[in-house]
Amino acid sequence: MTSFNIEDHPHRRFNPLTNDWILVSPHRSKRPWQGQVEKPTLQERPTYDPDCYLCAGNERAGGHKNPDYKGTFVFTNDFSALLTDTPEGGTSDSLFQSKSESGICKVICFSENHSLTIPEMEVSDIRKVVDVWCREFEELGSNEMINYVQIFENKGSIMGCSNPHPHGQIWSSSSVPVEPEKESVTQKAYFEKNGRTLLGDYLAAELEKKDRLLVENEYFVALVPYWAVWPFETMIISKRPVQNLLQLTDDERTALADIYKKLTVKYDNLFETSFAYSAGLHQAPTDGKDYPEWHLHMHFYPPLLRSASVKKFMVGYEMLATPQRDITAEQAARRLRELSDIHYKQQ
């Protein structure tokens, strides 16, 4: 009988951050593809688009006009999913529970240059984005109404990004959202049992194994997590177990900008396209309590599977049973690790 090989045979992997399992089916990566093929966006964008509501000097919804900004620009979302004046209320029936939710949603323009994306920006300019994250996290988190601040970026139309101008968002809410809440529970349980952060121990093990490492600098590591669901899913983890952005030193802020660029350059180089993803920071709640178990990290969930035109669909079994992937985390890491650190447009 053939012995089990994790690179060849179906198996499950455990995600200790969420207490979830995923199914890995590496033998399926050999199957032919006859499904949907996306049309990648190939055209070069101008540095300024008069029809873009995020470009400097242009008008947004409701008659709001952007200033003639340079670098970053932040404003309250004109179509916020959360509002500050939501009245308190809800229902307490065990089968029909509801609760009002308040919050503040903001948009961050990364640059006045409409044509850029994070991998094409200079580290010094990405550092300005990190500084905005820190400033907004501090301001929103100090609001008594806000108990969690979710910073994220959607890149690419196939990830629901409605405007190609380089930008991200911040949704801050009165409750802790589902995914960070899961991570709060698991990290606290691990810390109480071991006296160390879950991701600190996980990162130490990954640095020793080196199987899934992609990019490393003095303060951060980018890797493909062992339990990754998306084909080229990655994480950035701080080497020092900080709870939130405000605990980063000046050098660590620059290092975060540096690894953000290096990882996304590899993404673009993989299929020589502007690589789509949803990415976001996970950090401690902002309810005034101390969370020594929390370890700052950033998730990247990209949809592309085989090329710039073939994406992974989370359907069928994934929606009804368990998330599933074909290419193993180790195979994905090898492909990304071997790519150049220089953007393909500059090679």
Q: How far apart are the first and last CA of the chain?
A: 48
Q: How many CA atoms lie within 13 A of 32 on its CB side?
A: 1
* Neighbouring-strand partners of residue 23: 12, 324
Q: Would residue 114 show up in a list of annotated catalytic residues for this protein?
A: no
3-state secondary structure of 58: coil
3-state secondary structure of 114: coil
3-state secondary structure of 301: strand
Strand ranges across the sheet with 213-216: 73-76, 103-109, 167-173, 148-155, 277-282, 297-301, 234-238, 220-223, 213-216
**Catalytic position from the list 11, 64, 165, 167:** 167
- What is the C-alpha separation between 50 and 52, in angstroms, rounded? 6
- What is the C-alpha separation between 300 and 236, in angstroms, rounded? 8
Q: How many angstroms separate the Cα of 26 from the Cα of each of 1, 3, 29? A: 19, 15, 6
CA-based nearest residue to 140, from 102, 178, 112: 102
* Alpha helix ranges (H) inside 92-196: 123-141, 178-194
Q: Within the chain, how many helices (H) and strands (E) appear?
A: 6, 16
Q: Which residues of 331-343 are buried (b: 16+ CB within 10 A; e: fewer)?
A: ebbebbbeeeeeb
Query: DSSP character for 184?
Result: H
- What is the C-alpha separation between 343 and 18, in angstroms, rounded? 34
CB atoms within 10 A of CB 226: 20
Token pair listed for 222: 């980018």
Catalytic site positions: 167
